[in-house]
Amino acid sequence: MLHTKVNDISVEDLFSYYDRYNFLYPGKKKQLQPIFPEVRENWEKALNLPWEYFLLLTYHNEDRDQFASVSAWRSTPSSYCIQHMVSNHPGNTRPILLHFLYILHGIRGNAIQVYFQPKTRFANNMFQYLADTGGPAHSFKHSFSYFKVPSRPATLQWSPIFTEPLSRKNQDEVLKFVATERSSFYAWVQDLDGQDFELSEIDKTYRQYNTTRSRKVIVFRDEHHRILGIAIVNKASLGLNFSLLENATELILNSTLPRWILDEAVNHMLHHIQQEYEFSPLEQMPVLVDTEYEDLVRDFGGQLMRIYDYFSCDHTVISTWQNYLVEASGQVRKHLEEKQKITT
C-alpha cells in the first residue's frame, strides 16, 4: 500500500503536479484558461469539504520523482464520481486506486460513477470486466458523445412540445422511461427514485463550504403526452471536473420515435436548457448524448469534444474491483522487475 495523504495538499502544489505530469495538457489548459481562476478557487474551497463529500488522495515521492492522485466528489445521495486518476509511474496507478476503493468501501451510499475515454486500455479492460461480472443489477456501462453547444443554439422550430419538472406525479413514468433507455440501476445511481429531485440536501452541505451541487430534471412531452426525452441538468461549482462534467446536461431520448421527431425534440431541449446556463461563465453548454444521436446535436451547432465511456457500480462490485486491482498490481510489479533485470 502506498503512503498516501487525504485532502492534504495545496491546490498550488496539486496543479503544479498536474502540469508537470501532463494531466493539464495544452488542449485542456486552453479550454480552462478563461475560467481557470474560478476553477482554482473552487478547488481550494472543495478541499475544505468533509472528505465524505470531496476526497483527494495523493502520493508523492520526490526522491524517485513519482506522483499519483485520484479524486472523487459526492454526486448524488447514492454515488460518488471518481475522476482525475493521474500517475507518472505504472507501478502506482493500480495501488492508489486500490487504496481509494478501500476508503470509499466503508461509506454509506457508496455507488461509484466514472467517465473515461475508451482509448485508455487499462480503464476500458477493467470496467468492461467489472460490468460483465456485476451484471445489470449491480452495474451499468454506456457510451456518450460529449459536446459543447452554443448557449444560443439554432432558431427554434415550432412544434407542440411541452416541459415539466420531475415530480412525484410523473416519477413512476420517468423511472420506467429511464429504465428502458438506460437501466433501472442507472436510475437508482442518479437518485431518480428518491424524493430530493434537485439534490437540495446535498447542496446544503456543499454550500456550508461556499461550493454547490444541484440539478434539474426536465421532462419533454408532445401533444400526445408521450415522453420525447429527459434532460438532466447538472450544476456544481465550476471545474470540480476539468472536463466540466459537473455542469453537463445529459439528454436521454426516446429511442422508439422516428428521427424527425427526435430532431424537433433536441431542438427544443437545447433551447430550453440554455436558460439554465444564463448566468454561467461558460460560453458554451457541455452536453452528453448517446453516440447514435451525434448528428442531431451537430444540427444545432454542437461541436463534438470527445467520446466518453461511462461506468457505475454499487458496493457489491467493489470487492471484485479490489481483487482485480490486486492481481493487476502484481502483474505490473512482476513486469517491472523483469524489465529491471534485463537492463542491469
CB 102 within 8 A of CB 323: no
CB 114 within 8 A of CB 312: yes
- Quote the pLDDT of residue 176: 98
Per residue in 327-339, pLDDT (tens digit) is 887 675 565 555 5
Q: Across all residues in the chain, what is the average pLDDT?
A: 91
In the CATH hierarchy, which top-level class contains the domain 146-310? alpha beta
- Quote the pLDDT of residue 114: 97
- Quote the pLDDT of residue 3: 80
Query: Which residue has better confidence, 90 or 56?
Result: 56
CATH of 5-142+312-343, one of 3.30.420, 1.10.150, 3.40.630, 3.40.50: 3.40.630
Instruction: Indicate the pairing of strand 66-76 with strand 79-87.
Output: antiparallel
Q: Give the strand order in the sheet containing 162-165.
A: 5-6, 54-61, 66-76, 79-87, 111-116, 303-313, 139-150, 284-290, 249-253, 227-236, 213-221, 162-165
Nearest to 4 by CA among 71, 90, 49, 54: 71
Q: Do domains 5-142+312-343 and 146-310 have the same CATH topology?
A: yes
CB neighbours of 102 closer than 8 A, spacing ≥ 6? Answer: 322
Where in the chain are the domains? 5-142+312-343, 146-310
Per residue in 24-79, pLDDT (tens digit) is 888 888 889 999 999 999 999 999 999 999 999 999 888 888 899 999 999 999 89
Cell of 245: 462534467
Measured between alpha carbons, how far is 49 from 51 in angstroms, rounded to an integer? 6
Measured between alpha carbons, how far is 335 from 342 in angstroms, rounded to an integer? 11
Percentage above 90 pLDDT, the chain: 74
Kindly indicate the confidence band of residue 95, based on its pLDDT and cuts at 50, 70 and 90. confident
CA dihedral 282, 288, 289, 290 (to 10 degrees): 150
- Quote the pLDDT of residue 48: 96
* Mean pLDDT (whole number) for 92-97: 86
pTM of this structure: 0.93
Cell of 99: 487504496
